[in-house]
Amino acid sequence: MKFERKDFLWGGATAAAQVEGAYDVDGKSLTISEMRPYQSKLDRKKLEDSLKTLTRKSLVDSIENKEGLHYPKRYGIDHYNRYKEDLKLFKEANMNIYRLSIAWSRIFPNGDEKEPNKKGLEFYKNLLTECKKNNLKVMVTINHFDLPWPIIDKYKGWINRDVIDMFIKYCKTLFNEYMDLVDYWLPINEINIGVVAPELGTGILKEDYKSESEYIQAKYQALHHQFIACSKIFEIGRKMNKDIKFGCMVANVTTYPSDCNPINQRENQRFQQLSRFFFYDVMARGEYPSYIWRYFKENNVNLIISEEEKKLLKNNTLDFITFSYYMTGTTSKESVEKSNGNLMSVGKNPFLKETEWGWQIDPVGLRITLNQLWDRYQLPLFISENGIGVVETLNKNNTVEDDYRIEYLSKHIEQINEAIKDGVDVFGYTMWTPIDVVSATTNEMSKRYGLIYVDYDDYHNGSGNRYLKKSYHWFKKFRETGEI
């Protein structure tokens, strides 16, 4: 089967906190991602447990690390020093786009400095220039789960309106420096995680709030501040360059009702509104949807929003929609067996297989998702994350025979192709990931997503050398022939 669209963008996605390492180089500050230790006894199917260590005390203790714990994201895969080697491998696989993130902590380590860190600017200038040398278009995520610790410590994260101004200053700096080197901009990674796991998404710590009601209020107010910051940088960026392209990024978990009972049909509609569509609606349509106001009323959320902010949201919406897609699940009013994936808990689907982490594999769900989003918003779509994490080791030939990854990717690509035939305007795909990285949620190196194997274990023992998996050669051939 030939892939339909000839001008499609194919590549891979990574995040600074998961690949760069060099956590203490050239003035960089620590980020919340780099302050979470590796937990060897973590239950892989209970991702919420991986965040229970995130207390103010644990974060402060991590700075001196007197216990000698291992903090994997401080080391990543040494992309900071080996990016030229990695980009060359991406090019040789015939990728034509790379989605990367820039670490706020390298540019404004404390958030509130007046001037950016020149060493940080220099590193990303070199990295982005190298992307262009390798004929890679660039999609930049401006903040990817790595809020600088000083912003959390001093300002308590995005709940503080001062952080909006810090983010705008940071973004303007990136636009001034890299406008000609970046093709697409995503302000905040998986913006809905700010409600699901606010520690990662907005830097809010639950212990700072006296009650559950106050905590819920803070989560949505901090999220609102992110929405306002995004709209403001859309406005600023377009004044600087009318051709600039902005997207959102949502952790998309499409769900199905557990059966045809109208009660469960409605439960599924409610879940999809609150976990997915609300975030797309605000950023694509420019206003808070009616259903969220009922939710706010019933949960005592008194959103502080001005008429000026409402106009800002309405007048500064997206150019395209992008999302991560790893799994689907079911919803039901009754208590059902749960499956956890990408920090969301959904019901198990008996028709789907799941990974070692409980993530349910559903290629057809990707086609359904693409059709839903296209029908609802009529904006170009881009799949910015999709992939499978598996425990892998090198064989005697220094490779990995990952036929399961080839099957996973090919089945999802087939469904993208079907969506294009349906008339959906989907223009690109960056797999998570082109190369093994430290897992965002479980902090494991052993949860491997890449086409390229990186020789580190969970404690960063190993050479760090790169080895090509079978899937790398499969992808390269797919790009050459277009045959799925």
Q: What are the catalytic residues?
A: 385
Q: 205, 152 in Cβ contact below 8 A? A: yes
Which among 104, 107, 109, 209 has a CA at the least distance from the CA of 154?
A: 109
Phi, then psi, of 254 in degrees rounded to 5: -75, 140
**3-class state of residue 215 by DSSP:** helix
Q: What angle do CA 276, 228, 310 make, to 5 degrees?
A: 90
Helix H or strand E segment including 142 = strand 137-143
Widest distance between CA atoms in the chain: 65
Tokens linked to 451: 């086409």
Q: What are phi and psi of 454, to 5 degrees?
A: -115, 125
Burial class of 180 by CB neighbour count within 10 A (0 to 12, 13 to 18, 19+): exposed
DSSP strands (E only) in 269-376: 320-331, 338-341, 344-347
Which residues of 279-396 form beta strands (DSSP E)?
A: 320-331, 338-341, 344-347, 381-385
Query: Is beta strand 466-468 parallel, antiparallel or unpaired with respect to 184-188?
Result: unpaired
Secondary structure element (H or E) that encloses residue 251, with its range: strand 247-257
Closest CA to 130 of 183, 95, 170, 86: 86
Tokens of 445: 């190196």
Rounded Cα distance between 166 and 110, Å, is 10
Q: Give the Å distances, CA to CA, from 168 to 31, 143, 287, 329.
A: 19, 12, 21, 36
Judge if the upstream peptide bond of residue 328 is cis by omega within 30 degrees of 0. no
- Give the C-alpha separation, 17 to 162, whole Å: 24
Find out whether 465 and 455 touch, Cβ atoms under 8 Å: yes
